[in-house]
Amino acid sequence: MSKRLSDCRVTVIGLGLMGASLCMDLVQGGLCREVRGVARRAETALRAFFTHAVDQATTDLHTGVAGADIVVLATPVRTIVDLLGEVGPLLWPGTLVMDMGSTKSDICAAMERLPQGIQPVGGHPMAGKEQAGFAAAEPNLYRGATWILSPLERTSPEALALAQELVEALGARPVFLEPQRHDRLVASISHLPFLLASGLIHAVDRLGEQDSLVWELAAGGFRDTSRVAASDTRMFLDILMTNRSAVLDQLDSFCGQLGELRQLLADGNEEALAAKLAHSRTLRANWKKK
C-alpha cells in the first residue's frame, strides 16, 4: 500500500450520518480519485448520487467495492462485524479496510479474520449528533474531532499512514489506541452518558404520569442532560451489547458515586455534600481547559 489518498478510490458502506458526512467531505474537498457509496436502500443511494454526496452509488456490495483502494464500513457495530466476512473475499490484496464503529474489540477481532493481504485499521471518529440517517449528514462533521485509529499487528506501516492521511485530510486529529483500552474509555464518556440520559427520561416520565406539567417546566438543563437519549436506538443497542463488560463497570462506578451523594443528602451532611459538589465543579472546569 503506497498510494496517496488523492490517487485512491474510496468506497463507503453505509450512507447514514457518519458515512454520508465522510463522503461529502471527500467529494467536496476533492480529496481522493473517486468516492463510491453503498446503501441498503435504493432511495438512499439515489439521493446520495443526485445531491453529489458521492461520485457513484449502488446497493450492490460487490459492485461498490470492486477495485476500491480504501473501504470504510459506516454501519452499526454488529453489521460491521458481519460485513467484514462478506467484503473480505471481494477485495484486492493491499486494500485498506477501515470502520467507523463506536466499539473496537469485536470489530478488530473480525478484522483479524480478513484474508491475508487486506490491510485493516479499526477507527472511531469522536463526533456525531443524536440525529441519524442520510438527511442528518453534513460536511465538516469531523473537523477538529478526535479520530481513534486501532491498527492490528498485521497492518503495514504504509496502510496505517494512508489511514492517518485520510483522517487528517478531514481536519480530524488521529489518536492511536488498542481496542480494549478504547472500549474501556468510551464506555465512560459516551456509552454511560447515553444510559444515564435514558434513565433520566424514564424517571421524569414516571413523574409526568402523575403531573404532566413537569414536561412544560423542563428547560435548558434538562434538555442538555437528556439530549443523547434521542440517539438512534439500533446504533446504541449494538454499542452496548458489544461493550457490556466495560459499560457495566462504569455503571457500577457511577452508582457508587450516586449512592454516596444520596447518603450525604439523606444524612443532611451539608458540609460534606458541598465539598463533593465543589470538587466535581472543579473537575468539570479543569476538563474544559484541557
The domain ranges of the chain are: 5-177, 182-289
Which pLDDT value is given to residue 221?
87
Cα distances (Å, whole numbers) of residue 258 to 151, 254, 264, 275: 37, 6, 10, 15
Which pLDDT value is given to residue 290?
57
Which pLDDT value is given to residue 155?
97
Range in 5-9, 55-59, 148-152, 233-237 the model is least confident about? 233-237
Range in 27-31, 232-236, 275-279 the model is least confident about? 232-236
Asked: is 5-177 a CATH 3.40.50.720 domain? The reply is yes
Which pLDDT value is given to residue 183?
97
Instruction: Write down the mean pLDDT value for the chain.
Output: 94
Assigned fold of 182-289: 6-phosphogluconate dehydrogenase C-terminal fold (1.10.3660)
Residue 167 pLDDT greater than 70, yes or no: yes
What average pLDDT does this structure show over 178-205?
94
Which pLDDT value is given to residue 73?
98
pLDDT in tens, 198-246: 999 999 999 999 999 999 888 888 888 898 898 888 889 999 999 999 9
pLDDT in tens, 69-87: 999 999 999 999 999 999 9
Q: Report the C-alpha gap between 100 and 103 in whole angstroms.
A: 9
